[in-house]
Structure formats: structure tokens, C-alpha cells
Amino acid sequence: MLERIRASIPALPPAEQRVAKLLLSDPRSFATLPVVELAERSHVSKPTVVRFCRSVGYDGLADFKLKLAGSVNEGVPFVHRSVDDDDKAGDVLVKVIDNAVAAMLRYRNAAAPHSVERAIAALSQAGRDGHRIEFYGVGNSGIVAQDAQHKFFRLGVTAAAILDGHMQIMSATMLKPGDCAVIISNSGRSKDLLDVAELARKKGATVIIITASGSPLAAEARQAGVQGGQQILLAADHPEDADRYSPMVSRLLHLLIIDVLTTGVALRLGSARLRPMLQEIKRNLRARRYTPVDRAYGDDDNGSSESTP
């Protein structure tokens, strides 16, 4: 509905265009505000608001608001909304959350299930065979690598997060066939990570790359695949500028991909292997608490669920 209205703006009279722009700037508020306030915010008359609703194909304001509320509640439009200098706290709240949700929905629709399946299969095989699974990242991506290590080592596999450039080279040098190197990068332009990917490939390890599809690191993965190398690209595209000082959407997407991989590997390894170990971890962590915690509150930050990884 919103995309259709956006496309129709050039054909509307100037006054109705102002109503349309108000609508697109904040659809949720438009669906709840009275016509008087809508007219004031658009700098038009009340009849103009009603005419706008009819111009875009609805019976009137009431019918338009009803359909708008249904459209907005269906989900967040796949549009990145930049935060402005004069945004209030409420605007920042809505924009940041909408950007995150929209990016995740966009990734859900664009992700390549075949690549995810290959990555899960390689990681599961490495875990079953006792091979190494190592996560490489720098900066914000290094934090994602640490989160990946935290999730994977609880599955009883040999997992490590390597963040220092020199340590990454040394670690990749010791990789062997059957090992997995998971390289995480927002920009896909870090020379250290490009070198690690090439070195891990030469050592015969399976290389799983999480980065933007148009980056040099992604091109490296595709080229290696053409040459017969075991490289798997999990492309995570987003509208966020790769050079921004504090990447948010990209980090959330990478964390989401790690969650998908962790869940897939846990399912492959099987509950018969994981459940006793996770239950024992849970019991030992409870002994570290100063006071009993009501089970209704769930786990603390260091805990792990008895039924899920």
C-alpha cells in the first residue's frame, strides 16, 4: 500500500502531495491522528486530506485509515530510514528498530538456503569429527566472532575466536582439511581477512565467509568456488554505509546468521549428545549464583537453556 502511494505522488496535486509525504514519513501516526491534526501537519485543509484518500483509491478517510492500519501491522516496509540530527528520542527509537527489522526481513527473503545448508553441513561435520572451527573478525566483526565462539563451544565442539591480525595468520597456517574457518566482515575489504581466507583455502580448510555480496571478500569466495575451492559465501546485504563509525544493522545481521548456523548445527549434532551436557552446564552455573532465582525469570546472561543451544 505504501509503495503504491509513493509511486503515485507525481500524479497528485501539490496539496495532496504534502499529505502523501506526511503519510510516508510516519504511517503509524497517520493511521491514528484525527483529520484536524493531519490537515495542520500537512498545511492543507481538512477536505484536501479526504480528497487525497479518494485520489489514491479509497472511499474516504475512515476507509483509508482502516486499510492503512492493516498494511502497517503486516510488517515493516523494506526501507532504510536515516536518523536525522533533529530527531527526537521517539523518532530514533522507531527508526533504529524499523531499520533492524526491515534488514532482517530483507535478508530472510534474499538468503540462499543452499549456501546456508552447505555451511551447516560443513560445521556439523567438523564438530562430529573433532576438527577445529575458528571465527575470524576485526573491530565490530570481532565482537560477532566472539559471540559465535560463545555459542559454538557450548555445543561441545572445538571453537575459537581469533581477533588479532598476527594471531589470525598463525592460526590459519595451522588449519587442516576438515577444519572450518568462518570469516566475518562488514566491509569485506580488510586485508588481514583477505589474507586469512586465501591462506585457509590453501591449507584445505572449508572457508565460510559472511560479508556483503559486492565486497572483495565475496569476490574472493566466488573465484575460489570456480576454481574448486571449498568456500561458502553467506551474503548479508544491507543499506547501511560500510564506512559508518558504528555499524548497527550489519552487526545484527551477522549475529542473526550466527544464530541460524548454531541452531542448524545443534539440530545436526542431536539432542541425545547435547542435552546432558547443557543440563550439566546449567546445574554448575546455578551453583555460582549468590541467591536462588525463580525459574519464571529464566536464565541469566551466562546461562544456557536446557532444551536449546
246 or 149, higher pLDDT:
149
Average confidence score pLDDT of the chain:
83
| Three-state DSSP class for residue 225 | helix
Interatomic CA distance for residues 44 and 55, integer angstroms: 15
308: pLDDT strictly greater than 50: no
Instruction: Note whether 128 and 122 are within 8 A (CB).
Output: no
**Angle, alpha carbons 267-176-198 (nearest 5°):** 100
In the chain, the amino acid numbered 1 is M
**Angle, alpha carbons 277-283-284 (nearest 5°):** 90
174: pLDDT strictly greater than 90: yes
The fold of the 2-74 domain, in CATH, is Arc Repressor Mutant, subunit A (1.10.10)
Q: Which residues, in sequence order, are CB contacts of 187 under 8 Å at separation 6+? A: 211, 212, 215, 242, 243
Residue 260 phi, psi (nearest 5) = -65, -45
Q: Which residues, in sequence order, are CB contacts of 65 under 8 Å at separation 6+? A: 30, 31, 32
Residue 127 pLDDT level (bands cut at 50, 70, 90): very high
**Of the candidates 23, 12, 26, the residue with the CA atom closest to the CA atom of residue 61:** 23
Instruction: Note whether 98 and 81 are within 8 A (CB).
Output: yes
Instruction: Note whether 184 and 141 are within 8 A (CB).
Output: yes
Let me know if domain 112-269 sits in CATH 3.20.20.140: no
Interatomic CA distance for residues 60 and 72, integer angstroms: 18
**Angle, alpha carbons 172-120-202 (nearest 5°):** 25
24 or 4, higher pLDDT:
24
Q: Is the pTM of this model over 0.75?
A: no
Instruction: Note whether 173 and 199 are within 8 A (CB).
Output: yes
DSSP string, 246-285: S--HHHHHHHHHHHHHHHHHHHHH-HHHHHHHHHHHHHHH
pLDDT average, residue stretch 273-302: 68
- Copy the grid coordinates of residue 74: 503486516
pLDDT tens, residue by residue, 195-238: 999 999 999 999 999 998 888 998 888 777 655 568 899 988 87
For residue 280, what pLDDT is reported? Answer: 80
3-state helix, strand, coil in the chain (%, to 5): 60, 10, 30
Q: How many CA atoms lie within 13 A of 136 on its CB side?
A: 32
CA distances from residue 7 to 3, 34, 63, 76, 197 in whole angstroms, order as listed: 6, 25, 20, 18, 44
Residue 73 pLDDT level (bands cut at 50, 70, 90): low
**Of the candidates 247, 266, 260, the residue with the CA atom closest to the CA atom of residue 309:** 266
